[in-house]
Structure formats: C-alpha cells, structure tokens
Amino acid sequence: MPQSDSRFSNANLVDRPRRFTLLTFGRPHPIRLFGKLAFFSHPALSIPLNWIRIPGLVSRRWQGEALREYPEHYEIELAIMDKTYMAKPGEVPQNWYVVDGTEKVVGRLASDIAMILMGKNKPTYTPHVDTGDYVIVTNVDKVVFTGKKWDQKRYTWYTKWPGLRSETAKVRMEKKPELILTEAVRRMLPKNKLAKKMLAKLKVYKSGEQHLHQAQQPEPLELAVK
C-alpha cells in the first residue's frame, strides 16, 4: 500500500494482509467487493462496507475506502452463526446428585438447587422443556438461617376457613423440617406448570434416613459454598 496516502497515514498499515474476524464462530468465507457492499461466498451474506470494523482504522469511511482501494491488504473472515439449540423432551440426559444439607444456609442452598432443577447450569437449557437434573438432599433438618430468622421469619398460609394461619421458622423446623427447604426452592422456580415437574425432582431426607435412590448412582455435590 502506498505510504503517501494521507487518508491512511494514521492507520499503521503494513504491506501484508491484515486478518480479522467479523463474527465469532463458523467457517471463514472469502470476500468480494462491489460498490458499497461486501459480498461473501455465501450468496445470502452481504453487508455494507461501513459496517466492517478494521483494527487500526477509526473512521468507518476510511474502512470502506481502504477495502475498496486496497482489498489485497485484508483477509476478512465471516462466520455463519448456527441456529439456537432448543432441546426436546427426553433429549437431554438427566443426572442425579446428592447434597449434604448440614450447616448450609437455606437461601444459598435453595438458589443453587433451583438452578440445577431448571437446568440453567447446562448449555442445553431450554425454558419450555425440563432439562434439569435430580437433587437428593440429606440432613435437611440441619440447615441453618442467618441472623434472627428462626424467630423473625414467619410462614403464612390460608385454609379457606376464617383466619390466616402462620408459624415461625423455628416451629416449622420442629414440625416439618423438610418443608423449609422445599418451600424455599419452590418459590425460586418458574411460576408455571413446569415448576411442578421440576420440584418433583427434589428429594429431601432428614438425618438418620437413608435415601432410596442408590440405583441411580447419585454423584456427591457441594453447594452453597461461601
């Protein structure tokens, strides 16, 4: 390229092809210049020259003129983006995990479990399909709350009879400790019909109880790590 061209004096161009990527993934496609458009080997792919960004050229007008007048100095890669993957029911294998709830904070543990039940921890996550895994929680009666939540946190429910029933977290732990974690996870799941299927994949067991899922060979998993 001539070094006397003042339009490109600040571009720091050299007499060798400069290679850069237009998009991120796919296979490269050669470029053909025609007027103000850049056509690639794929007939459906064409973009204005001023949409192309060349490292070292600040002005988009300079970029277009550089490509038109000195096309041999640039090797442009155009990547075709693949279609978004959407899983079908039963297509994604579902694993089993076992988690020890001893001394785990309820909120932190519930949020991690909800992500696994929804399948958001995997790249195959699909909003309308249950792609999550199964989670077994042992020692569910040994979870903890931070601060004074054992006395301050209250659970309320309505039985269609007059009056609103309520109880503290401490009382619920004495009566039905499995409900503390189950309700926390349920409220973190989507508010739709799919949430019922997701919540059914959560298996909780109190201390001293042996879970009944040895045949699934669950893998131990550490959650709610500070």
Rounded CA separation 72/180 (Å): 68
Is position 50 within any domain? yes
Which pTM value belongs to this model? 0.65
Render pLDDT for 75-108 as a digit per residue (tens, 0 to 9). Answer: 444 444 456 788 899 888 999 999 999 999 999 9
**Angle 35-40-42 (CA atoms, 0-180°, nearest 5)?**
135
Asked if 62 and 171 sit in the same domain, the reply is: no
Asked if 151 and 66 sit in the same domain, the reply is: no
Secondary structure element (H or E) that encloses residue 16, with its range: none
CA-based end-to-end distance of the chain:
58
> Which range (57-66, 98-107, 189-198) has the least confidence?
57-66
Is position 66 within any domain? yes
Rounded CA separation 105/142 (Å): 10
Render pLDDT for 124-176 as a digit per residue (tens, 0 to 9). Answer: 899 999 999 999 999 999 999 999 999 999 999 999 999 999 999 999 999 99
Domain that residue 141 falls in: 96-220
Asked if 49 and 143 sit in the same domain, the reply is: no
Is position 86 within any domain? no
Of 61, 52, 44, 64, the closest CA to residue 20 belongs to 52
What HEC string does 29-45 produce?
Answer: CCEEEECCEEEECCCCC
Tokens 């931070």, residue located: 146
Count: domains in the chain: 2
Asked if 138 and 195 sit in the same domain, the reply is: yes
Asked if 152 and 215 sit in the same domain, the reply is: yes
Is position 51 within any domain? yes
Is position 138 within any domain? yes
Q: Tell me which of 33, 50, 77 is where a domain ends.
A: 77
Mean pLDDT of the chain: 75
Is position 103 within any domain? yes
